[in-house]
Amino acid sequence: MNLENATREELQTLEQKLAANYQEYQDAGLKLDLTRGKPGAAQLDLADEMEGSLKDKMISESGTDLRNYGGLDGIPAARKLGSEMLGLRKSEVISGDHSSLTLMYLYMLHAYYHGSQGPDTAWVREGDVKFLAIVPGYDRHFTICEELGLQMVNVDMLDEGPDMDAVDDLVRNDSMIKGMWCVPKYSNPTGNVYSEEVVERIASLGKIAGSNFRVMWDNAYGVHDLFENPQQLANVMDYCRKYGTEDNLILTASTSKITYAGGGISFLGTSEKNLEHFRKRLSVMSIGPNKLNQQRQVLFLNNIEGVRAHMRKHAEILRPKFAMVQKHLESGLGGKGMGTWCNPEGGYFVSFDALPGLAQEIVRLAGEAGVKLTPAGATFPYTRDPNDRNIRLSPTFPSVEDLDLAMQIFVTCVQLASIRKRI
């Protein structure tokens, strides 16, 4: 049955049946959670041999006592690993503590108040600075902009990445736009991988937007493939070198969703010139990152090949979870005209677009039946989804069994809300 073709009576009958199912779910008093992109315990277990691995390895090869103070850039071995993950030269990467979000925040703060290339370039001096938000996108990126008072301008995510014609237009016509957020591989939440053409166009933006424009390239899921022979992401820095826009690019990544979500290490990569300025900020607030935890990660992962081998184990755990989500979406909503969704080949999320105006209602219904979803609107700046339709599903943390049940309930809620809208 497709929503468009059904008679009013058919819909009313179905609504009653769904409402009865829904009531049963409510009565069961379930507590299921699909809100955040957390790894499951089985993924974390894969890294447990890290603990204890530093015995007699607390002095680095070059003689640095990793237990003591110092080393603002992170240990050389961690910078090397980061450079392999980001596709950069080692001198272009620093390694921090476990949160790449913190590095992003600090870089944005630096660019806003202190200037990415010195005080004269501080965004705050230029007036009401704006930032492009690719939507739907990652709430924590948007929150950083809100915190700093940067006005966000939405640009749609298309299949190949951001709508680059729109980006070009905006950047050409509004000199107050000073940057954009990108999650280039398995984008949060839509799961897209930016095409080579999009990557090249983004790399060339600095030529239009000027030296104070920053592409915040958050490659959070760069190695988070679910299948063999994954789609490749082009090396954006190579294209920046071609266009002479190396200073316009800030890349970040971490091992948080590789080893331990709360105990990995982070990387920030950019031109050496940018790094030189950024170090001045870091040196005021820190004597250096926790070098022991960096050593622990490096001993465990070794290099990019080690990372990829480890991520194949993650993929084995995650494939059934992502498959379970697709199974319910297809069997429950396929061909019904009640919404569309992505089928990502990696990353942490599945993006679902309901009929316009129904996302909040679906999230409410699911919540009251014991399935906690990311609040509707969370994937848009200021938590305002203009069409109230996008819902982000996070299948990594729950067990396959819980996911099975949660997705049944989700599908029921989508059907119920969609049908009630038509009656």
**Which residues contribute to the site for its own copies (CB under 8 A)?**
36, 38-39, 41, 44, 47-48, 51-52, 54-55, 58, 65-71, 97-99, 101-102, 105-106, 109, 113-114, 140, 143-144, 147, 256, 260-263, 281, 284-293
The tokens of 399 are what? 């067990």
Distance of CA 76 to the CA centre of its chain: 27
One-letter amino acid of 30: L
* Rounded-to-integer distance, Cα 329 and Cα 326, Å: 5
Q: Smallest gap, in angstroms, from Cβ of residue 125 to its own copies? A: 13
Min. distance of Cβ 15 from its own copies in angstroms?
Answer: 38
- What strands lie across the sheet with 350-354, from one edge to the other? 339-341, 350-354, 390-393
Q: How far is the CB of 218 from its own copies (least distance, A)?
A: 14
Least distance to its own copies from the beta carbon of 205, Å?
26
Phi, psi (degrees; rounded to nearest 5) at 351: -95, 130
Using DSSP's 3-state secondary structure scheme, residue 382 falls into: helix
Is the Cβ of residue 103 or residue 406 nearer to its own copies in the bound state? Answer: 103
For its own copies, the closer of residues 76 and 230 by Cβ is 76
Which is closer to its own copies, CB of 143 or CB of 302?
143
Is the CB of 48 or the CB of 159 nearer to its own copies? 48
Contact 191, 156 (CB under 8 A): no
Residues whose CB falls within 8 Å of the CB of residue 66, separated by 6 or more in sequence, listed in order: 54, 58, 59, 60, 75, 291, 292, 294, 295
Cβ 84 to its own copies, closest distance in Å? 23
Which string of b and e fits 146-185 if b means at least 16 CB within 10 Å?
eebebebbbbebbeebbbbebbeebbeeeeebbbbbbbbb
Q: Compute the least distance from the CB of residue 190 to its own copies, in Å.
A: 21
Which CB, 37 or 162, lies closer to its own copies?
37
Q: Tell me whether residue 21 or residue 117 sits nearer to its own copies (CB atom).
A: 117
Task: Give me the amino acid identity at 42.
Answer: A
Name the token pair of 196. Answer: 């080579």
Minimal distance in Å, beta carbon 391 to its own copies? 21
Which CB, 180 or 265, lies closer to its own copies? 265
